[in-house]
Amino acid sequence: MKTILKWGSQLISFSLFVLLIGMAFLVISTKASGDEPELFGYQLKTVLSGSMEPEFKTGSVIVVEPGGDMTRFQKGDIITFMENQDKLITHRVIDIVHTGGNIMYETKGDNNNAPDSTLVMSENVVAHYSGVTIPYLGYVGKFSQSKEGAALLLILPGVALLLYAGISIWQGLNQLEKGNRDTAREGDKDIPKNLL
Protein backbone atom coordinates (compact mmCIF):
# COMPACT_ATOMS: atom_id res chain seq x y z
CA MET A 1 0.00 0.00 0.00
CA LYS A 2 2.85 2.40 0.85
CA THR A 3 4.39 1.75 -2.58
CA ILE A 4 1.13 2.66 -4.32
CA LEU A 5 0.83 5.86 -2.27
CA LYS A 6 4.46 6.73 -3.01
CA TRP A 7 3.96 6.22 -6.77
CA GLY A 8 0.70 8.18 -6.65
CA SER A 9 2.42 11.03 -4.84
CA GLN A 10 5.26 11.10 -7.38
CA LEU A 11 2.79 11.00 -10.27
CA ILE A 12 0.85 13.96 -8.87
CA SER A 13 4.06 15.94 -8.30
CA PHE A 14 5.29 15.18 -11.81
CA SER A 15 1.90 16.07 -13.35
CA LEU A 16 1.78 19.41 -11.53
CA PHE A 17 5.35 20.17 -12.58
CA VAL A 18 4.61 19.34 -16.24
CA LEU A 19 1.45 21.48 -16.07
CA LEU A 20 3.48 24.39 -14.69
CA ILE A 21 6.12 24.05 -17.42
CA GLY A 22 3.43 23.65 -20.12
CA MET A 23 1.55 26.75 -19.00
CA ALA A 24 4.77 28.74 -18.82
CA PHE A 25 5.65 27.64 -22.37
CA LEU A 26 2.18 28.49 -23.66
CA VAL A 27 2.19 31.96 -22.11
CA ILE A 28 5.78 32.82 -23.08
CA SER A 29 5.55 31.49 -26.65
CA THR A 30 2.21 33.22 -27.23
CA LYS A 31 3.63 36.53 -25.99
CA ALA A 32 6.89 36.10 -27.95
CA SER A 33 5.20 35.28 -31.25
CA GLY A 34 2.65 38.03 -30.80
CA ASP A 35 -0.21 35.67 -31.56
CA GLU A 36 0.02 31.89 -31.99
CA PRO A 37 2.80 29.75 -30.48
CA GLU A 38 5.21 27.70 -32.59
CA LEU A 39 6.81 24.37 -31.71
CA PHE A 40 9.34 22.31 -33.71
CA GLY A 41 8.52 24.16 -36.93
CA TYR A 42 4.76 23.75 -36.52
CA GLN A 43 2.40 26.58 -35.65
CA LEU A 44 -0.62 26.40 -33.41
CA LYS A 45 -3.65 28.25 -34.74
CA THR A 46 -6.86 28.89 -32.85
CA VAL A 47 -10.13 28.09 -34.64
CA LEU A 48 -12.35 31.16 -34.33
CA SER A 49 -15.39 30.03 -36.34
CA GLY A 50 -17.42 26.92 -37.06
CA SER A 51 -16.83 26.98 -40.83
CA MET A 52 -14.80 23.75 -40.75
CA GLU A 53 -17.00 21.75 -38.38
CA PRO A 54 -17.05 18.82 -37.83
CA GLU A 55 -13.35 18.59 -38.89
CA PHE A 56 -12.46 20.99 -36.09
CA LYS A 57 -14.72 22.90 -33.72
CA THR A 58 -14.66 26.53 -32.63
CA GLY A 59 -12.19 27.02 -29.79
CA SER A 60 -9.93 24.18 -30.90
CA VAL A 61 -6.25 24.57 -31.67
CA ILE A 62 -5.03 23.12 -34.94
CA VAL A 63 -1.42 22.34 -35.81
CA VAL A 64 -0.30 23.65 -39.20
CA GLU A 65 3.01 23.35 -41.02
CA PRO A 66 4.20 26.56 -42.66
CA GLY A 67 6.49 26.83 -45.66
CA GLY A 68 7.33 24.57 -48.54
CA ASP A 69 6.01 24.58 -52.09
CA MET A 70 2.60 26.20 -51.89
CA THR A 71 1.64 24.92 -55.34
CA ARG A 72 1.65 21.28 -54.21
CA PHE A 73 -1.85 21.04 -52.76
CA GLN A 74 -4.55 18.76 -54.12
CA LYS A 75 -8.32 18.60 -53.79
CA GLY A 76 -9.25 17.72 -50.23
CA ASP A 77 -6.15 19.27 -48.62
CA ILE A 78 -6.78 21.80 -45.86
CA ILE A 79 -4.76 25.00 -46.17
CA THR A 80 -4.32 28.17 -44.14
CA PHE A 81 -4.22 31.32 -46.23
CA MET A 82 -4.25 35.10 -45.93
CA GLU A 83 -7.65 36.50 -46.86
CA ASN A 84 -6.31 39.99 -46.20
CA GLN A 85 -3.44 41.46 -44.20
CA ASP A 86 -5.19 40.89 -40.87
CA LYS A 87 -7.11 37.67 -41.41
CA LEU A 88 -6.06 34.03 -41.77
CA ILE A 89 -8.54 31.38 -42.89
CA THR A 90 -8.22 27.60 -42.86
CA HIS A 91 -10.46 25.90 -45.44
CA ARG A 92 -10.44 22.84 -47.68
CA VAL A 93 -9.25 22.94 -51.31
CA ILE A 94 -12.15 21.92 -53.58
CA ASP A 95 -10.59 22.78 -56.94
CA ILE A 96 -7.30 23.88 -58.46
CA VAL A 97 -7.26 26.59 -61.14
CA HIS A 98 -4.26 27.06 -63.45
CA THR A 99 -4.08 30.52 -65.03
CA GLY A 100 -0.96 31.28 -67.03
CA GLY A 101 1.94 30.51 -64.72
CA ASN A 102 -0.13 30.88 -61.55
CA ILE A 103 -1.91 28.30 -59.46
CA MET A 104 -4.98 29.32 -57.52
CA TYR A 105 -7.16 27.30 -55.18
CA GLU A 106 -10.90 27.29 -54.83
CA THR A 107 -11.64 26.73 -51.15
CA LYS A 108 -14.65 26.06 -48.98
CA GLY A 109 -15.35 25.59 -45.31
CA ASP A 110 -16.80 22.10 -44.72
CA ASN A 111 -19.72 23.64 -42.82
CA ASN A 112 -20.37 26.41 -45.36
CA ASN A 113 -23.07 26.12 -48.04
CA ALA A 114 -21.00 27.66 -50.83
CA PRO A 115 -17.35 27.97 -51.82
CA ASP A 116 -15.36 31.01 -50.75
CA SER A 117 -16.10 34.06 -52.91
CA THR A 118 -12.53 34.53 -54.15
CA LEU A 119 -9.84 32.16 -55.35
CA VAL A 120 -6.69 31.85 -53.23
CA MET A 121 -3.41 32.54 -54.97
CA SER A 122 -0.72 30.01 -54.06
CA GLU A 123 1.52 32.81 -52.73
CA ASN A 124 -1.19 33.69 -50.18
CA VAL A 125 -1.09 30.19 -48.68
CA VAL A 126 0.93 30.26 -45.45
CA ALA A 127 0.57 26.69 -44.16
CA HIS A 128 -1.25 23.40 -44.47
CA TYR A 129 -3.17 21.51 -41.79
CA SER A 130 -1.16 18.65 -40.30
CA GLY A 131 -4.17 16.63 -39.15
CA VAL A 132 -3.70 17.37 -35.44
CA THR A 133 -6.48 19.12 -33.51
CA ILE A 134 -6.64 19.84 -29.78
CA PRO A 135 -10.25 20.59 -28.78
CA TYR A 136 -10.98 23.66 -26.60
CA LEU A 137 -7.30 24.58 -26.07
CA GLY A 138 -7.87 27.71 -28.14
CA TYR A 139 -9.92 29.21 -25.34
CA VAL A 140 -6.94 28.78 -23.00
CA GLY A 141 -4.61 30.28 -25.61
CA LYS A 142 -6.78 33.35 -26.10
CA PHE A 143 -7.15 33.74 -22.33
CA SER A 144 -3.36 33.50 -21.93
CA GLN A 145 -2.92 36.52 -24.22
CA SER A 146 -4.52 38.81 -21.65
CA LYS A 147 -2.44 40.10 -18.73
CA GLU A 148 -4.78 38.50 -16.21
CA GLY A 149 -4.82 35.21 -18.11
CA ALA A 150 -1.04 35.06 -18.41
CA ALA A 151 -0.62 35.74 -14.71
CA LEU A 152 -3.28 33.24 -13.70
CA LEU A 153 -1.96 30.46 -15.95
CA LEU A 154 1.51 30.88 -14.47
CA ILE A 155 0.43 31.31 -10.86
CA LEU A 156 -2.22 28.57 -10.50
CA PRO A 157 0.00 25.56 -11.30
CA GLY A 158 2.75 26.99 -9.07
CA VAL A 159 0.33 27.50 -6.19
CA ALA A 160 -1.05 23.99 -6.69
CA LEU A 161 2.49 22.59 -6.62
CA LEU A 162 3.28 24.52 -3.43
CA LEU A 163 0.04 23.38 -1.75
CA TYR A 164 0.73 19.77 -2.70
CA ALA A 165 4.30 20.08 -1.33
CA GLY A 166 2.90 21.53 1.91
CA ILE A 167 0.43 18.65 2.24
CA SER A 168 3.20 16.12 1.57
CA ILE A 169 5.44 17.72 4.24
CA TRP A 170 2.55 17.78 6.73
CA GLN A 171 1.81 14.09 6.09
CA GLY A 172 5.50 13.22 6.45
CA LEU A 173 5.73 15.06 9.78
CA ASN A 174 2.59 13.28 11.05
CA GLN A 175 4.07 9.89 10.13
CA LEU A 176 7.35 10.80 11.82
CA GLU A 177 5.51 11.94 14.96
CA LYS A 178 3.42 8.77 14.97
CA GLY A 179 6.58 6.68 14.63
CA ASN A 180 8.17 8.52 17.57
CA ARG A 181 5.06 7.90 19.73
CA ASP A 182 5.05 4.21 18.84
CA THR A 183 8.75 3.92 19.67
CA ALA A 184 8.18 5.67 23.01
CA ARG A 185 5.32 3.28 23.89
CA GLU A 186 7.44 0.24 23.07
CA GLY A 187 10.21 1.66 25.26
CA ASP A 188 7.73 2.09 28.16
CA LYS A 189 6.81 -1.60 27.97
CA ASP A 190 10.41 -2.62 28.59
CA ILE A 191 10.64 -0.62 31.87
CA PRO A 192 9.54 -2.60 34.94
CA LYS A 193 6.30 -1.20 36.41
CA ASN A 194 7.80 -0.66 39.86
CA LEU A 195 10.25 1.86 38.31
CA LEU A 196 7.50 3.90 36.62
How far, rounded to the nearest angstrom, does the alpha carbon of residue 58 sit from its chain's CA centroid? Answer: 15
CATH topology of domain 36-144: Umud Fragment, subunit A (2.10.109)
The shares of helix, strand and coil residues in the chain, as percent rounded to the nearest 5, are 45, 25, 30
Contact 5, 28 (CB under 8 A): no
pLDDT, tens digit only, all 196 positions of the chain? 667 766 777 777 777 677 667 666 665 665 555 555 666 677 778 788 888 888 888 888 888 888 888 888 889 999 989 888 788 888 999 999 888 888 999 999 888 898 888 888 888 898 898 888 878 766 666 666 667 766 676 677 777 777 877 887 887 778 778 777 767 666 655 555 554 5
Q: Do residues 98 and 117 lie in contact, with contact meaning Cβ atoms separated by under 8 Å?
A: no
Is 49 among the catalytic positions? yes
Global model pTM greater than 0.85: no
Catalytic residue among 9, 29, 33, 49: 49
